[in-house]
Structure 1
Amino acid sequence: MIHTVRSGETLFSIAQRYNIDPNNLARINNITNPNEITVGQNLFIPLSRITSYQIKNGDTLYSIARANGILLNDLITANPQISNPNMLNVGDTINIPDVRKEIEINGYAIPSINQSILNDTLEYLTYLSPFSYQVNMDGSLSQLNDETLISSARNSGVAPIMVVTNISSEGGFDGEIAHKVFTDVTTKQSLINAIKSIVIDKNYSGVDIDFEYLLPEDRDNYTAFLRELKTELEGINKTLSVAVAPKNRDNMAGSLYQAHDYKAIGEIADRVIIMTYEWGYIYGEPQAISPYNQVDKVIAYAVTQIPSQKILMGMPNYAYDWVIPYVQGTSAKTLTNRQALRLAYENNATIMFDTLSKAPYFSYSDSDGREHVVWFDDALSIGSRLDIVTKYNLGGLSYWTINNFDSANWAIVSDTFRIKKVM
């Protein structure tokens, strides 16, 4: 349940209204100081999950199922002791099944992640993906300090995934590096051998390929490389996931999109991570980072090309603060969602909610008199996008990144879904 803070309300009055411990309400919603809440802020209100029910006079299985938001057949299946569903005994206790959809969740992590944050997050993950091994021009791979992340993941029953990118030594995604891999047999084999060696030596469960800004003419070459890599990984019992740019049609222009063949990649990969974020990006004009309307369009197209259960929908775990009016060439400041809420409180800002993108934002003036706008995520925007997972029966979610812990996000995710463990 979501509660939007109104003028005059306090965290304590809201907690009292829902009969919730105020300290627990604060913890769940990223609130460090219970006195610091902001008008327009959307709070996640956790409700207790009923696992059993004592039959009362006048009850039917249909009325009980409807009251608990579950299907009648699910309720009957959970109670095999009931021989005649039309005859209930007052006072008997029946089981209320947990019908939350089970999903997989991937989390990308920069190796510098705080160990406490990592430990807090692992219980919500299926896969942990340390970012990243970078391909060199000769097909060799850069080094990555990932041993602690791998051992932490395995100790928590989370599958570690090796991430391989075409990021150059200068720091950006480089289509020319990928082109060399695709078109030079020696370079390609060197890369595949290097991947297999690390996967085996470090006991990774699989590989994630995140090749971006590829040359448009490498579309078929990329598909061929993925098919060859998949065959090699199958031989050592490892999985393959592929990260793709978010597009809502096959022929979208631009080097970010053109070489990503959704249909072909969906046939090859075990999982496809669709990076449904960065509409509002650090060097672009202010807007929602992961707007519901745009994400929905991308996923609606994706499920026509890729089996829905293979799709992990991308979720951003950050906010952006822009100076306005926006000037091309300037950059936004990256914040956590918690920092965004704190900034709103400090500047006495009213948080607004855009109904098209289903995303919160607020404006404020800094000490130099410059106007700012901040777009971020809250319980309502996150919950809205989670509905897309259910709507299209997706396999799950993928977070960029988990290097900060957003308690509100994980509370609403775990309230909505059961998280699959594959180890």
Structure 2
Amino acid sequence: MDEIIVNGYVYPSVQPEVLEAWLPNLSLIATFSYGMTPEGYLIPLNDEELIEAADNAGVGSMMVLTPMNEQGQFSEQLVSDVVENPEAVERLLQEILYELRRKNLFGVDFDFEYVPAQNRDQYTELVSRATEMFSPEGFLVTVALAPKTSAGQQGLLYQGHDYAGMGKAANFVLLMTYEWGYTYGPPMAVAPINKVRQVIEYGVTEIPPEKILMGIPNYGYDWTLPFVPKESMAEKITNEEAVRRAEEFGAEIQFDEEAQSPHFVYWKEAVTTNEDGTEETVYQQHEVWFEDARSYKAKMDVVREYGLAGISIWNIMSYDPNLANAIKRAFSVTKLF
């Protein structure tokens, strides 16, 4: 049976029993998230309990570094402030190395999602420097990249991520192949396999497949219809909750063959307030897209087809036996120690 690396992103607020259920199926956890200041000082994360649990299960712990400021907000300006300042870069690298040693972490995952186009090469150089500096001490360096389908893809999410450069700079590259269906967008599959495949097809032309971890979503969304651009907000739900709602409202689960994803619609009673202040009971239509055993098998098939290093789950805050079983049926999971 082929062996793969399985990474799971996790917040310190995870329920201990959920983490324990996942650990046998993981090679790595990635604790989300450390931040940084414009001067390159590391903003720490209280992840010691996660690290201890992972260590006991033979699972490595990665610290995730994002451009999150002291107010807990993500900032593209913060990326520019740091990567354009050699002193800040040097300080950040030293701070990361200190934390890796102090907590006996397995490595660092750079997850800068909004990198200004003019800082693309400086970001790649930061990751390259980190690998040069940390590898001799046995630490792993990974980087999470937006789901691109071409080198020149436009948009803030994409322009600052250099697939070829990062493929050389990092030990592994995590491709975020999810969020086509997302909070502010119209109803659709979170990770339609046809879209995922396009990203992987491009990715392997720039990055060695044995360095790629394919992103896997562990959630779905529930949209209230009709969808109104710039107004509608989908509710993020677990896959288990999606199935529960289908059962509760007597909805028949459909399966989209092109997207290889399950979905359904249902009607739910809601109370609205009229302009004159009176309340009225109406029925609202909902559309739900989520993941199940079939959609996860389709994703595992792509991992095998392209000979990828493994998968990266966003995220492991809820346990899904369908995903755990799909992994176990298709692969054996690498244990790093």
Aligned counterparts, 1:284-323, within 5 A: 284-323=185-224
Within a 5 Å distance, the mapping from 1:31-46 to structure 2 comes to none
Write the deviation string for residues 192-225 of structure 1: whole angstroms up to 9, x where unpaired.
Answer: 1110111000000111100111101111111111
The equivalent residue for 2:325 is: 411
Partner of 2:247: 345
AA matched with 1:167: M
The one-letter code sitting in structure 1 at the alignment partner of 2:29 is L
* Post-superposition CA distance 1:66-118 (Å, at most 9, x none): xxxxxxxxxxxxxxxxxxxxxxxxxxxxxxxxxx2110000000100000111
1:330 is the counterpart of 2:198: no
| TM-superposition CA deviations, 1:379-407 (whole Å, max 9, x none) | 11111111100110000000011010001
Instruction: Give 1:210's aligned amino acid.
Output: D
Q: Is the 8 A contact 1:199 1:206 kept in 2?
A: yes
Pair member with larger Rg: 1
The residue that corresponds to 2:10 in the other structure is 109
Counterpart residue type for residue 143 of structure 2: V
- What is the aligned partner in structure 2 of residue 235 from structure 1? 136
CA offset at residue 172 of structure 1? Answer: 4.3
- Matching residue of 2:147: 246
Post-superposition offset of 1:136:
1.6
> In the alignment, which residue of structure 2 is the partner of 1:383?
297
Greater fraction of residues in strand? 2
CA offsets, 1:121-179, max 9 Å, x none? Answer: 00000001110101122211222110011111111000111111112345443221111
Normalised by the length of structure 1, the TM-score is 0.75
Please give the alpha-carbon distance, in whole angstroms, between the structure 2 residues aligned to 1:411 and 1:224. Answer: 39
- Residue 170 of structure 2 is matched in structure 1 by 269
| 3-state SS of 2:210 partner | helix
CA deviations on 1:322-341 (whole Å, 9 max, x unpaired) are 01110122211111000000
Counterpart amino acid of residue 312 in structure 2: S
SS in structure 2 of the partner of residue 131 of structure 1:
strand
Paired amino acid for 1:234: S
Establish whether residue 402 from structure 1 lines up as the match of residue 316 from structure 2: yes
Q: Distance in 2 between matches of 1:143 and 1:120?
A: 26
1:236 offset after TM fit, Å? 2.2
Q: Distance in 2 between matches of 1:360 and 1:205?
A: 36
Q: Which amino acid aligns with 1:340?
A: A
CA RMSD of aligned residues (A): 1.0
* Match for residue 264 of structure 2 among 362, 379, 392: 362
- The 1-side partners of 2:177 and 2:32 are apart by 18
Larger CA deviation: 193-202 vs 221-230: 221-230
What is the TM-score when the length of structure 2 is the normalising length? 0.94
Q: Gaps (5+ residues) in structure 2?
A: 271-282
Deviation per residue, 1:279-299 (Å, 9 max, x gap): 001111111000000000000
- Cα distance in 1 between the residues matched to 2:322 and 2:135: 38
The one-letter code of the counterpart of 2:250 is: N
Residue identity in the other structure for 1:319: G
1:204 paired to 2:105: yes
TM-aligned CA deviation for residue 300 of structure 1: 0.5
- 1:171, 1:217 → 2: CA distance? 24
- Is residue 65 of structure 2 the alignment partner of residue 164 of structure 1? yes
CA contact (8 A) 2:186 2:227 kept: yes
The answer on whether the counterparts of 1:174 and 1:212 sit within 8 Å (CA) in structure 2 is no
